[in-house]
Structure 1
Amino acid sequence: MDISTYMEKNGHEGLSFFRDAHSGLKAVMAIHDTTLGPAMGPPKIASYASEDDAVLEALRFSYNHTYKNAMADLPFGGGRIIVMGDSAHAKTEALVRSLGRFIESMCGRYVITGGGSGFNDDDTELLLQETRHIIGLPVHHGGSGDSGIMAGYGVYHGLKACALEVFGTDALAGKTIAISGLGKVGSALAENVLKEGASLIVSDVRKPALTKWKERYGALIVDPGEIFDVQCDILSPCSVSNFLNHRNIKRLKCKIVGGAANNQLADQQKDAEALQQRGILLAPEFVINAGGIINFYAEIGGYKPELARSKTENIHTVLSSVFSKAKLEKITPVEAAYALAKEKIDQASGLRGVNQGMSRHRPADGMRS
């Protein structure tokens, strides 16, 4: 695997490996672009088949996070830190504290967020004891608490923008929305669309999580593998990465795809084109799912809920501008969103055109061995 070539082609600034023998910490940190500000991103702890898989995920995530921050007008670049290990067994107080010390050693070049995949509020408390460079704090530390609520609220407003583009109205009443994944963000999204009078189809690998949606709200429950075949107006991926690929895209019976999951497409460029060819509107995930990081940003200097809410509602306007550019230039919404974000980054740096090896408003390349 030629990591340096991949990083140069996609504009990454740094890749760091951390190891602590005492705690067992083994982590990789990717920093994409810091033109707008320090790299910011959540941690993740998971087992990987190979170290290369963890590196690729960190690089891909940090790339999209740069553009997510740019599209949300936030003063951060893109970053990601991945801890390689099983969260149920490898994650100890010593490991989390060690991670915090490594973040602190970056001297502010990387800002970690509370929460993250495999991390909880207790871990945030531990990180806070070791580093100053952290946002996304519990309420009793002056933070905003659960960012999933605002993230779901943002996806809701993003879907309204999609509906306006496809149906001529942003009203979701009477629309059927299929949500894959009812974690914190998926549940918050579901609550918002139900208030507006939408019908729900839901899927989650955790069966108990589905019960209340059927009993209280009459949602139709389907198995995770069947969500691609349901007749619906909107499909909202709020669970795993690589949710859509060239095989299951052919099965879709929806007009819109937009959700909270990161890296929803197995191949961003080809799969975005495949959706467009089928007449399915795609909301780029790094635009529609920005509510969580907006909520984090609103903590700086003391949490300001009105700011978080207004900037999150603006996702509607931002997505509409993405769709307008895509139609005008006859490109996919993903390409349009990258182009708009790149313009913001170039403006901030005082440069135009290609910058730091970043290519012309396109998804990051896949890594090949």
Structure 2
Amino acid sequence: MQVWEAMAEEGFEEIVFASDPANGLKAVIVLHNTQAGPALGGCRMWNYASEEEALTDAMKLARGMTYKSAISGLPYGGGKAVIWGDPSKDKSEAMFRSFGRFLQRLKGRYVTGVDLGTTVQDMDAIAQETSYVTDMTGTLGGSGNYTAEMTAYGVYLGIEASLQEAEGSRSLAGTRVAVQGLGKVGYALCRYLRKAGAELLVSDVNGALTDQAVREFSASAVSPGAIYAQDCEVFAPCALGGVLDRRVLAQLSCRVVAGAANNQLASPEAAAELKARGILYAPDYAINAGGIIATALELAGSGAEDIRRRVETIGPTLADVYRLARSAGLNTAQAAGQLAEAKLAARLQR
């Protein structure tokens, strides 16, 4: 990767490489845009295949957080941190405290929180070294699966809004939804969908989670490799990013793609292909913003009721995206980008 070239092309402000051999810390902190406010985004821990893969993931996620905050009307920019390692065996309190010291050096330009591979306890360790962290013990974000629950709630509402656009009805009764990924968000989404009467097709690399969903939601289990080709109204990707590549697009048999995963499009061309095939795509940073909305509002002192009401704006935001796409002849990814950029520009003019 030509790092400075990539930074200039996408408007990245700062990349920090953090290393502490004493406890195995290898981390990348990426600040994409802090014009609207401090960069807000979680700290992910993952066993990446290479340094370049770790950096690429951090950059994509940070840029997505800028757009997620902007389209949601939040006074924050976008940032992300990734720690390179196996979260099941490589992490330690000392590692996260060391990460916290690096975070403190940014003096509030970046605020982090729980993400894939990290926990409330990890945030507690970071908080021993800096105040620029959320989702600690005693906060709403640190209470059980609250952030995941709000993300799932927003995705559920976004699916309703997407069905309204694609089918003329937001009803989920009898609607077949294929959910890929049964982590905290995917599993909570299944609960919302099933309560609304949806028929669920579920898949996860963890067979125990799939079995649990089958029992709890009367879902049909599907192997991970077959979930894309299921005959359904909605395909909900809730696992890792980059899932919508050429191979997967060729298999899709759905009317709507709407899920919780970040960076779902493997390339910008994927959005055009979905539009050409008549498949409505709910841009990921618009539909999965429930978690960052919850975090931003809690930082501002809001309680659970206010947060839930704000998450409920995700449906109307998606309706605005679809309206713009229709009127301007854009695919929905382009429309979401234009809407986010317009909201960011309006905030900067205040």
TM-score computed with the length of structure 1 as normaliser: 0.91
- 1:348 Cα shift? 2.4
Counterpart in the other structure of 2:309? 310
Task: Give the distance between the partners of 1:143 and 1:121, measured in 2 at CA.
Answer: 8
Instruction: Give the % identical residues.
Output: 38
Q: Which moved more, 1:301-310 or 1:195-204?
A: 301-310
Q: Which residue of 1 aligns with 2:349?
A: 350
**How far off its partner does 1:90 sit?**
2.3
Q: What's the CA shift for 1:318?
A: 0.1
1-structure distance, mates of 2:142, 2:86? 28
CA–CA separation in structure 2 for the residues paired with 1:327 and 1:303: 35
SS in 1 for 2:299: coil
Q: Residue 151 of structure 1 contacts residue 291 of structure 1 at CA under 8 Å; is this kept in 2? A: yes
1:216 is displaced (CA, Å) by 3.3
Tell which has more relative contact order, 1 or 2 (C-alpha 8 A, sep 6+): 1
Secondary structure, counterpart of 2:246 in structure 1: coil
Measured in 2, the distance between the counterparts of 1:286 and 1:301 equals 21
Aligned ranges for residues 71-110 of structure 1 at < 5 Å?
71-110=71-110
Counterpart position of 2:59:
59
Q: Which amino acid aligns with 1:29?
A: I
After superposition, residues 243-282 of structure 1 pair within 5 angstroms as: 243-267=243-267, 269-282=268-281
Give unpaired runs (5+ residues) of structure 2. none
For 1:172, the equivalent position in structure 2 comes to: 172
Tell me how far 1:144 sits from its aligned partner: 5.5
CA distance in 1, matches of 2:186, 2:116: 15
In the aligned structure 1, how far is the partner of 2:41 from the partner of 2:141? 16
- Cα offset, 1:141, TM superposition: 4.3
Partner of 1:357: none
Distance 2:246 2:300 in 1: 45
Alignment partner, residue 361 of structure 1: none
Aligned to 2:284: 285
SS in 2 for 1:81: strand
What amino acid maps onto 1:249 in structure 2? L
Matching residue of 1:339: 338
Change (3 A) 1:208 1:286: same
Q: Which moved more, 1:144-153 or 1:60-69?
A: 144-153
Contact 2:46 2:117 in 1 (8 A): yes
Q: CA RMSD in A?
A: 1.4
Name the amino acid aligned to 2:158: G
Structure 1 runs, 4 residues or longer, greater than 4 Å off = 141-144
Give the equivalent residue in structure 1 for 2:322: 323
Q: Give the match for residue 189 of structure 1.
A: 189
> Does structure 2 retain, via aligned residues, the 8 Å contact 1:70–1:341?
yes
Please give the alpha-carbon distance, in whole angstroms, between the structure 1 residues aligned to 2:141 and 2:227.
Answer: 36
TM-score for both structures, normalised by structure 2: 0.96
1:50: which partner in 2? 50
**Structure 2 letter corresponding to 1:151:** T
The amino acid across from 2:4 in the alignment is S
Write the distance in 2 (CA, Å) between the matches of 1:201 and 1:303: 36
C-alpha distance in structure 2 between counterparts of 1:151 and 1:236, whole Å: 13
Task: Say if 1:136 and 1:299, in contact at 8 Å, map to a contact too.
Answer: no
- Please show how residues 11-26 of structure 1 align to structure 2 within 5 Å: 11-26=11-26
* Letter paired with 2:315: H
Give the secondary-structure state (helix, strand or coil) at the position aligned to 2:112: strand
User: How far off is 1:143 after superposition?
Assistant: 4.7
Distance, in Å, in 2 between the alignment partners of 1:9 and 1:301 is: 33
Q: Distance in 2 between matches of 1:205 and 1:119?
A: 19
Tell whether the 8 Å contact from 2:190 to 2:217 is kept in structure 1 after alignment. Answer: no
* CA offsets 1:302-341 (integer angstroms, 9 cap, x no match): 4511121111111000000000001111111111001011
What do residues 14-34 of structure 1 show as CA deviations (whole Å, max 9, x unaligned)?
Answer: 111111132221111111111
SS in 1 for 2:35: coil
2-side partners of 1:257 and 1:141: how far apart?
33
Q: CA deviation at 1:89?
A: 2.9
Distance 1:297 1:336, change over 3 A: same
Does structure 2 conserve the Cα–Cα contact (< 8 Å) formed by 1:144 and 1:299? no
